[in-house]
């Protein structure tokens, strides 16, 4: 690999590590009581069917309210699955406003594949009240 490609690869993977994490890493942060806020950007009805425990529902029509986002810690965003770009769009939107954002690779599908707990109900929904 030539020097230019090696430097490009190093930048890419450095940024990937800085701005993404997998389900196991997120679970580890939960157990370490790390300052992490988890945001579910799927449709609210899908959130109600099941979500990562403690996640806050922030569907696209509420992104401009910035409700539920941490101003001091990390915000981890997830959507449906790895191919879904909704979480990446949300991260871009919120990062532009100065929030520290990370994307959960695999989304809700990845979380379930690891066999981690899923919470149901309406707790944690960010309302426009």
Please list the active-site residues.
79
Give me the helices (H) in the chain, please: 3-19, 23-31, 44-49, 86-95, 107-113
Q: Which residues contact 82 (CB under 8 A, 6 or more apart)?
A: 105, 106, 107, 109, 110
State the pairing for strand pair 101-104/74-78.
Answer: parallel
């Amino acid at each position: 690999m030539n020097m230019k490609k090696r430097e490009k690869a190093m930048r890419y993977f450095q940024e990937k590590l800085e701005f993404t994490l997998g389900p196991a890493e997120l679970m580890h942060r939960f157990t370490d009581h790390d300052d992490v806020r988890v945001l579910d950007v799927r449709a609210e009805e899908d959130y109600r069917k099941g979500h990562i425990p403690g996640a806050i529902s922030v569907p696209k029509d509420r992104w401009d309210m910035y409700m539920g986002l941490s101003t001091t810690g990390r915000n981890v965003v997830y959507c449906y699955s790895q191919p879904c770009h909704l979480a990446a769009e949300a991260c871009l939107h919120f990062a532009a406003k100065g929030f520290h954002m990370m994307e959960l690779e695999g989304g809700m599908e990845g979380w379930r594949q690891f066999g981690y707990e899923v919470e149901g109900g309406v707790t944690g929904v960010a309302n426009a009240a």
